[in-house]
Chain A
Amino acid sequence: MPEPTPSVEKPLKQKQSRSIKMVLLKGRTFIALILLLIIFSMLIPNFLSPHNLILISKHVVLYAILGIGMTFVIVTGGIDLSVGSIVGLSAMFAGGLIYEGLVLDPFGVTIYFSIINVILLTLIFGALIGSVNGFMITKFNVPPFIATLGMLYVARGFALLRSEGSTFPNLSGTAEHGNTGFSILGSGTVLGLPLSIWIMVLIGVIAAYIFKKTPFGWHIFAVGGNEKAADISGVRVNKVKLLVYMVSGLCAAMVGLIVASQLGAAHPATGETWELNAIAATVLGGTSLAGGRGSIGGTIMGAFVIGVLSDGMVMMGVSEFWQMVITGGVIVLAVIVDQFQGRLQHKMALEQRV
């Protein structure tokens, strides 16, 4: 039986205009970023100066790294609300290790770790917090929203408990303890660019590689696209979920380290509401909150849109209140456009049915 063609052949012109629309829609985050840069460069003198661009990038790095971890989680169909608190707790964890050292009361000794070890321990610590999220979600079937909402409070609470709410004021370390040089992470430069930007590039490349070139990456997409089918296909769904929350925790810890290093101090309120920026960057980058669709490049682009938008508005002297209104509008608009693209894509694919 020949299968019926569901629709009449579309005229060529219409098809062409559709594919042009498609290209514009797919590159929308990039186009938005370019437009923002053009607009701000016209309104603000020296906006495009290298110094200013590097400054903006340093802000963007924080959202971008958090967004990369968030993308792992959101592509599986989950959400991680705890990243902002993990930033704060990790900063306090690292700050404490440098400022006070590890105090072992029963032995009356205090151990100071080298900066490399502090960084490694903090990253492991962040991943462990993420694994607690993952564990609650996979073993006890707590919905991701609730599990990570709980962690948002718990982690913030521990960050405050660590120092009774006060700041670790000086993280420069001493030669005597062999723990100097923490500030390199936040203010060091390589080939003229801040080290933190290089870290973002490195994390971005590794993450994009995992997404595209490893079985783990594709399993993430499979879990988000159809968990049941993934399970029947032999994907270890729970393992994948556990790992994405660990990645998210690790990224948050990295951000905590960078912030603490930039400030030269660890403050327990660091990272409050940053989870929202991370989610916004991810969504702006075209990642679907329903799971199964997303990209690392998109998220980084999304982080730049948010960063450029907010820094640009600050420089223009837009009131803080209007900044919030505009940012919110941009996020919602991005999702509307995303839905539009999804429908168009679906239509075009159906027309290609053999």
Chain B
Amino acid sequence: MYEKSDTVEVCLEAKQISKIYPGTLALDKVDIKLYRGKVNVLIGENGAGKSTLMKIIAGVEQPTEGTILFHGNEVSFTNTREAAEAGIGIIHQELNLFPNLTVAQNIFMAREKTKYGKINEGEHNKQTKDVLQKLEQAIEPDKIVGELRVGQQQIIEIAKTMIQKELSILIMDEPTSSLSNKEVEVLFHLIEELKQQGVAIVYISHRMEEIMRIGDTVTILRDGKLVASERVSEIDLPWIVEKMVGHSGKKIKKNEHKKLGKEILKVENLVLPREDGLALDDVSFSLFEGEILGIYGMLGAGRTEILECLMGRNKDVKGDFFVDGKYAKPKSVPDQISKGFAYIPEDRQKEGLIQSLSVAKNLTISSLKNYTWFFHLLKKQEENAVTETIKNFFIKVSNSDLPIYSLSGGNQQKVVIGKSILTSPKILLLDEPTRGIDISAKADVFEIVNKLADQGIAVILVSSELNEMINVADRVIVLSKGKVTGEFTGSGVNEQSLMRAATGGE
């Protein structure tokens, strides 16, 4: 994108990088150049491969194929320590801190300064103070990290990379997701300073206005492939959205003329506090039988929290819940299941599946009481339910007694959905149901969801993927910072309107 005549210097070049995980191709021959003294923005939807690519550059993971040229020399980092020594720092999306240790201990973990073999605490504290001052944070070095706000913890994460000497690449994976506006300004200021020093910044974000503001170049990934690379000054928001969403893959058919049933769920004035402010701020909506209601918003906008409240997992919520017109405040998960709710959690591995059990048992674990005679499990009936679900949900498995981890991500997800459908729910809550699964499995998942909605099940779909909202949801409500900032139906559901509402008020 830059011409030879431009005075920019390539700091790192990755060529034809591929990464294969069992069952998925996370990166497919991706090329990327990182420029010195520039903010190199990397965007793409969930599962597009951004984080994987960055983990490879930072030495967390090793590529299956491809080469990396760093300052013109081929390198292969086998761990983060090697990458860090070469001057590559990474700030992970999820916090990697020791909540039980102090700020200074966290910052100097595994690179302690010693004097005659003894830790030089004075030096630690001094340097910590300096770096925090630079970040405009009044945090004492001996403060326990677990006692800090999440936003401050994020700052500590940033501070960790700052004390690295000779930093030449700094990767930031969604660094602003838990920062306040003021903290974001500080961070941007700091990025500017680092640019002056010639550091190549890699900036991963979903927030378009941030990208347009601080980005110098943009690289877009989709489904593990490089889609486009361009200078920010040459592009606009619609261009990004088009490249990100793309128009490839199986189209999901949407039933345009469907009849909705009666109102099955109504929530009013949901308020959910969190340590700094409100996770949900006066959220109200209703849901009808056979409807697919999309909930769209950026990371941390309160999407997942709504589902958790509905499922009885979050006890601090205030507000009114009505199921079928009757007041019904959620008490516990089993309680909500018996009321007809079903929940597909966002994190399939940690919350959806039981790795030590077979495919069949993962399917029936929620609905075992349907196949019992008093307390005796009836094998035949259980097997029928398993076979039926495997067929209806297009689950590819040779033998349902195999362990669940022998399935690919997409098929595992179908098992999670199948499990909850076996409880015969009336309301299905889906949290990012297509995260990390391939395109054909995505299409299968939505075919299933559409079929269920046609049978009269009311569906709430939480997703951060725009095309899923546009192609699947009948109606979309958009959240930003815990508030409902828009509600759209029919042709009102489009990229621009959703994106504008989601970033609204910033």
- CB of A328, distance to nearest CB on chain B (Å): 27
CB–CB B402/A349 < 8 A: yes
Known: A3-B25, A226-B355. A214 touches B376 (CB 8 A): yes
- Docked CA distance A6–B24 (Å): 9
- Docked CA distance A343–B322 (Å): 49
CB–CB B351/A215 < 8 A: no
- CB of A354, distance to nearest CB on chain B (Å): 4
Q: Identify the closest chain B residue to A209 (Cβ).
A: B376
CB–CB A213/B354 < 8 A: no
Which of B73-81, B158-166, B364-372 binds A?
Answer: B364-372
Residue A280 at the B interface, CB < 8 A? Answer: no
- CB of A235, distance to nearest CB on chain B (Å): 7
* Residues of chain A whose beta carbon lies under 8 Å from any beta carbon of chain B: 1, 3-4, 6, 213-216, 218-219, 221-222, 224-226, 228-236, 288, 291-293, 345-346, 349-350, 352-354
CB–CB A213/B377 < 8 A: yes
Known: A352-B406, A354-B411. A216 touches B375 (CB 8 A): yes
- Residue-by-residue, is B444-463 near A (CB-CB < 8 Å gives 1, otherwise 0)? 00000000000000000000
- Docked CA distance A225–B350 (Å): 10
Residue B407 at the A interface, CB < 8 A? Answer: yes
Known: A6-B23, A350-B22. A228 touches B350 (CB 8 A): yes
Q: Which of B338, B357, B440 has the most CB atoms of chain A within a 10 A radius of its CB?
A: B357
Known: A232-B345, A292-B356, A353-B406. A3 touches B23 (CB 8 A): yes
- CB of A240, distance to nearest CB on chain B (Å): 11
Q: Which residues of chain A have C-beta atoms less than 8 A from B354's C-beta?
A: 221-222, 225-226, 229-230, 292
Contact residues, B1-50 vs A (CB, 8 A): 20-25
- Docked CA distance A232–B304 (Å): 14
CB–CB A354/B407 < 8 A: yes
CB–CB B377/A1 < 8 A: no
- CB of A78, distance to nearest CB on chain B (Å): 15
Q: Identify the closest chain A residue to B22 (Cβ).
A: A6
CB–CB A354/B356 < 8 A: no
Residue B337 at the A interface, CB < 8 A? Answer: yes
- Docked CA distance A346–B355 (Å): 11
List 5 other contacts, CB 8 Å, given A4-B25, A218-B361, A349-B405.
A218-B357, A219-B365, A221-B354, A349-B402, A354-B397
CB–CB B406/A222 < 8 A: no
- CB of A218, distance to nearest CB on chain B (Å): 6
Q: List 19 A-B contacts (CB under 8 A).
A: A1-B439, A3-B23, A219-B365, A222-B361, A224-B356, A226-B350, A228-B350, A229-B353, A232-B313, A232-B352, A234-B366, A235-B334, A236-B334, A345-B403, A346-B403, A349-B403, A352-B398, A353-B406, A353-B408
- CB of B441, distance to nearest CB on chain A (Å): 9
CB–CB B397/A222 < 8 A: no
CB–CB A214/B402 < 8 A: no
Q: Which of A1, A235, A350 has the most CB atoms of chain B within a 10 A radius of its CB?
A: A1
Q: Identify the closest chain A residue to B440 (Cβ).
A: A1
- Docked CA distance A214–B379 (Å): 10
Top 4 closest A-B pairs, CB basis?
A292-B356, A215-B368, A225-B354, A225-B356
Contact residues, B340-394 vs A (CB, 8 A): 343, 345, 350-357, 361, 365-366, 368-369, 372, 375-377
CB–CB B377/A215 < 8 A: yes
Q: Which residues of chain B have C-beta atoms less than 8 A from A350's C-beta?
A: 22, 405-406
CB–CB B311/A232 < 8 A: yes
- Docked CA distance A228–B343 (Å): 13
CB–CB B356/A233 < 8 A: no
Q: Identify the closest chain A residue to B354 (Cβ).
A: A225
Q: Identify the closest chain A residue to B345 (Cβ).
A: A232
Contact residues, B305-332 vs A (CB, 8 A): 311, 313
Q: Which residues of chain A have C-beta atoms less than 8 A from B361's C-beta?
A: 218, 221-222
CB–CB B397/A235 < 8 A: no
- Docked CA distance A352–B311 (Å): 35
CB–CB B376/A349 < 8 A: no
CB–CB B357/A222 < 8 A: yes
Known: A6-B23, A292-B354. A233 touches B377 (CB 8 A): no
Q: Which residues of chain B have C-beta atoms less than 8 A from A352's C-beta?
A: 398, 402, 406
- Docked CA distance A48–B495 (Å): 80
Our pick among A3, A222, A232 for the contact of B438 (Cβ within 8 Å) is A3
CB–CB A218/B365 < 8 A: yes
- Docked CA distance A123–B24 (Å): 53
Q: Which residues of chain A have C-beta atoms less than 8 A from B440's C-beta?
A: 1
Our pick among A226, A233, A345, A346 for the contact of B366 (Cβ within 8 Å) is A233
Q: Which residues of chain B have C-beta atoms less than 8 A from A232's C-beta?
A: 311, 313, 333, 343, 345, 351-352
Q: Which residues of chain B have C-beta atoms less than 8 A from A3's C-beta?
A: 23-25, 408, 438
Our pick among B311, B356, B372 for the contact of A293 (Cβ within 8 Å) is B356
- CB of B313, distance to nearest CB on chain A (Å): 8
- Docked CA distance A152–B322 (Å): 48
- CB of B217, distance to nearest CB on chain A (Å): 28
Residue B480 at the A interface, CB < 8 A? Answer: no
Residue B396 at the A interface, CB < 8 A? Answer: yes
Our pick among A215, A291, A354 for the contact of B369 (Cβ within 8 Å) is A215
Known: A232-B345, A234-B366, A234-B423. A226 touches B406 (CB 8 A): no
- Docked CA distance A284–B337 (Å): 38
- Docked CA distance A1–B20 (Å): 14
Q: Which residues of chain A have C-beta atoms less than 8 A from B419's C-beta?
A: 233
Q: Identify the closest chain B residue to A214 (Cβ).
A: B375
Q: Which residues of chain A have C-beta atoms less than 8 A from B405's C-beta?
A: 346, 349-350
Q: Identify the closest chain B residue to A228 (Cβ).
A: B351
Q: Identify the closest chain A residue to B248 (Cβ).
A: A1
Q: Which residues of chain A have C-beta atoms less than 8 A from B21's C-beta?
A: 6
